[in-house]
Amino acid sequence: MTVDRAADLPVLEARDLYCERDDRDLFTGLSFTVGRGELLQLAGPNGAGKTTLLRLLAGLNRDYSGEVLFQGQALLKVYAEYAAQRLYLGHLAAVKKALTPLENLRWLTAAQAPDDDRLWQALEQVSLRGYEETPCMQLSAGQQRRVSLARLCATDVPLWILDEPFTALDKDGVSWLEQQLERQVAAGGTVIITSHHALQSVPGLRQLTLGGSL
């Protein structure tokens, strides 16, 4: 019988993180773990370092001291493996305005390469059916946001790292995104998110509040 060791380990573990920006300490001695079926919400006032911590966990900010472990191994040593299992959605939507939602989504999901049926379904889920052939510059800010959020249901990636995903979404969009977060957590996935939105409806919610002395 083989024991899957990776299954017992936390998905991400932060050990004694320290990060400063412009001679200001953002966080010191920060340690925490995130496991399967958990949603970690990073909270705190503007400028507290939420996005910095999120980029750090995504492996995109490498200017810190301390350790981040992915399933027990140093994150940057297994970066390619890690990158294949996490989806990062930042402030910037990476949506090209001259391309249609379908073309944009095809590029955004190129690493997983889902078939066209799945892409169409994903666009339908974010209520962009009927706009497949419209260049994104003719869509509203919320609709452009939905194009990049369509990735969430076009691929199966166990770890989501989302930076303010509720920005510019309308009521329906917000409840759709909440459902997606619940679905991901229920399926044993993991979500790390920065948001000022109340996420009490999601089971497995944990909050991490950063200080933020401005």
Positions in the binding site for another protein (CB under 8 A): 58-63, 79-84, 86, 88, 90-96, 98-99, 103, 106-108, 110-111, 113, 135
Q: Which is nearer to another protein, 5 or 62 (CB)?
A: 62
Q: Which is nearer to another protein, 163 or 204 (CB)?
A: 163
Q: Residue 90 burial (CB < 10 Å; 0-12/13-18/19+)?
A: middle
Q: Which is nearer to another protein, 61 or 167 (CB)?
A: 61
State the Cα–Cα distance between residues 208 and 193, nearest whole angstrom. Answer: 10
Q: Which is nearer to another protein, 94 or 187 (CB)?
A: 94
Name every residue whose Cβ is closer than 8 Å to that of residue 4 and which is 6 or more positions away in sequence: none
Q: Please state the closest distance from residue 205 (CB atom) to another protein, in A.
A: 24
State the Cα–Cα distance between residues 55 and 67, nearest whole angstrom. Answer: 14
C-alpha 67: how far from chain center: 20
Q: Please state the closest distance from residue 51 (CB atom) to another protein, in A.
A: 12
Q: Please state the closest distance from residue 2 (CB atom) to another protein, in A.
A: 27
